[in-house]
Each structure stands twice: as structure tokens, then as C-alpha cells.
Structure 1
Amino acid sequence: MIAMQYSIALPRDYDMAIIRRRIAVRGHLMDGFPGLIFKAYASADVAGEPPGAEGNVYAPLYLWDSVEGMNAFLCGPGFAGLAHDFGRPAVRTWSVWRAWVSPQVTQACYATREHIPIAPGAALDALREAAQAVAEARMAEPGALAALVGFDPTAWTQVRFQLWGAAHPPVPGPGVAAYTIGHVSTAAA
């Protein structure tokens, strides 16, 4: 599995209703996309949710079952349209160590992303086991609809994503970005 995210930073005075409309009109286009486990249409709005957002951003989160689906999307018309409208963003990817996705993931309203540096010399096998245990603990948290942990060996960082239902609005903190989810697409949709 591969986790993927790109972030489009928008001006502080940007009308985020434009992004919400974009999601409402185009979100369903990824429903049923081959190789997609989920795409969470994530955004943060300085004037709205989640509380404490540092800036306006459109930052979808993806979980792919293989590189073929990811490549089909990145080389296809959907990503080309995004690049036309906003410029081609840098796309971050992570190798997934553990992922859990609830059958109700399409009901997600919020997401968090946490980056954790991997210390030089850290035993990656032990780190992977510990990260998998964290993901399993987060799966059991009330309101959790998806949890995954992975790593980026180019920057030697760990990433943790979690998707939540309506009753669990996240609060960003040091190293934690929080988002509102406007739509969730899955291959099964």
C-alpha cells in the first residue's frame, strides 16, 4: 500500500467556498477508481474548521492498494485538471506499514496527519513494530474510521494519518495538521 498527499496552500483571504464547491461537484468522480482504497478530500480553513488551522489549504489524502492505481490517477485527466487550475503540486508518498479502514470510512468528517522524524541509527524493524502498535491502538479509539502509519525513506520521517467521524473534531498541535473532510471516495463506491 502507498499513502499519498499533496497540499495546495491558498492565500489567507481565499474564499474556501470555492474549494467546498469543487469537492461537492467533482468529489464523486473518484468513486470507484481502480486501485483506490480511499481519497479523503481534505481542507483547512482559517475562518472555519478545523479550529486552529494555520492557513487555507486543499490537501487530499489518498491510500492506494498499489502503484498502478496511483500512477493511473497522476497521469490521468483528474490530476491534469487540478494541475491546470492550481499548478502541479509536489506529491508526497509514504510506504504504508499498517492501515485499517472501516467500512464506514465514507462518513469521515475530519482527518489528522502527524509527521515524526526518524532518528539516525534508529532500528527500523523496532520502529515499524511500535508504529504498527500505535495504529492498532488508534483503530480502537471512539470515532476512528481509518488509521495508517507509514514512512518516507527519502526524508526519514514517519507519518500517521487518522480519519474521524463527525463527533471527533481534531485540534492541530505541534507536528499535527488537522483537516475537514468534504467527501471520501473509495474503490467500492
Structure 2
Amino acid sequence: MIAMQYSFVLPADYDMTVIDRRIREKGPLLDGFPCLRFKAYLAARKQGAGVPGTENLYAPFYLWDEPAGVDGFLSSPGFAAVTRDFGWPSVQTWLVWHADLTADLKAATHATREVVPIAAYSDLAAHRDGAIVDAGSAIEAGALAAVAAFDPTRWSSVKFTLWPKLPTVSTETMQLYTVGHVSLPKEG
């Protein structure tokens, strides 16, 4: 599996209802997209959720079953439309160590994402094992999804979690988002 995210930083005075409307209108278009495990349509508001330092962001997060899904989406008219409207983003990808997904992903209202560096010569197996334990702990704490992954190009790890209600933001490196829609594979 591959985790993927791109992010658009929007001006401080940007009318975020434009993003909310875009998510409502465009979100269902990716329901059933080939090789997609889920796409969480995410936004953050500069003045939102009581988190200091937050920027206005549109930052969807994807979990793909295989690379063909990444290519299929990034080569699609939908991605071309996003880049036309918001610019050419840097697309971050991570190789997935572990993903816990519950059946209620559509009930997600918030997400957290934390990217942390992996020090040179680290014990990657220990990082992976710790990330798997953390993902399980998040599910036990009520998370609807917990993804643990790493990027061996930048030597960083990511913890991404979907929540059914506003979670506690535990560190300054954790980004909090609202979830406008979650696209899932076709049923059956």
C-alpha cells in the first residue's frame, strides 16, 4: 500500500466555504476509484479548532492498494482540474507499514497527521513495530483509521488517523484537519 498527500496553503483571508463546497460537489466523484482504499478530503482553517498556528489548507490524504492507483489518479482529469484551480503541488508519498481501517470510515469528522524525521542509522524494524503499536492504540482510543508509513527518500515517518470527533492534539508537529468526505471502494 502507498499513502499519499498533497497540500495547498491558501491565503489567511481565503473563503474556506469555497473548499467546503468543492468537497461536497467533487468528493463523491472518487467513490469507487480503482485501487483506492480511501481518500479523506481534508481542510484546515487558520482560526479553526483552537489550534494555534494553523494555516488555511486543502490537503486530501489517500491510501492506495497499489501504484497503479496513484498513477491513474495523478494522470486523471480530476487531478488536472485541481492543479488548474490551485497550482502544481508537491505530492508526498509513503510506503505503508500498517493500516488499521474500521468499517465506519464515512463517520470521520476530523483527522490528524504527524510527520517525524527518522534519524540516520535508525533501527527501522523498531520504528515500524512502534508505529504498528501506536496505530493499534489509536484504534483502541476510538480512531476509525490509523495509517503508519515511511518515506525512505526523506527519511520520515507519518502517522495518519481519522477520528469520529475532535481529538486532542498532542504535539506541535501534529496537524489537525476537518474531514469533508471520505471516498471508498465500490461495495461488492
Matches within 5 A, 1:99-110: 99-110=99-110
Q: Give the match for residue 176 of structure 1.
A: 174
Counterpart amino acid of 2:26?
A: R
Residue 139 of structure 1 deviates from its aligned partner by 1.6
Higher mean displacement: 155-164 or 39-48: 39-48
Matches within 5 A, 1:1-189: 1-49=1-49, 51-52=51-52, 54-142=54-142, 144-166=143-165, 168-171=166-169, 173-188=171-186
* Contact persistence 2:4–2:94 (CA under 8 A): yes
- Once the two structures are superposed, what CA deviation does each residue of 1:62-107 show, in whole Å capped at 9, x if it has no partner? 0001111111000011100001111111100000000011111011
SS in 2 for 1:47: coil
Counterpart amino acid of 1:174?
A: E
Flag the 1:169–1:52 CA change in 2: closer, same or farther, 3 A. Answer: farther
SS in 2 for 1:159: strand
Counterpart amino acid of 1:163?
A: L
**Alpha-carbon separation, structure 2, partners of 1:2 and 1:127:** 17
Task: Give the TM-score, by structure 1 length.
Answer: 0.94
* Contact persistence 1:9–1:57 (CA under 8 A): yes
Task: Give the TM-score, by structure 2 length.
Answer: 0.94
SS in 2 for 1:148: strand
SS in 1 for 2:154: coil
Percentage identity across aligned positions? 48
Residue 170 of structure 1 deviates from its aligned partner by 4.2
* Contact persistence 1:170–1:178 (CA under 8 A): no
Counterpart amino acid of 1:68?
A: A
**Cα RMSD for the two superposed structures:** 1.4
**Alpha-carbon separation, structure 2, partners of 1:25 and 1:50:** 27
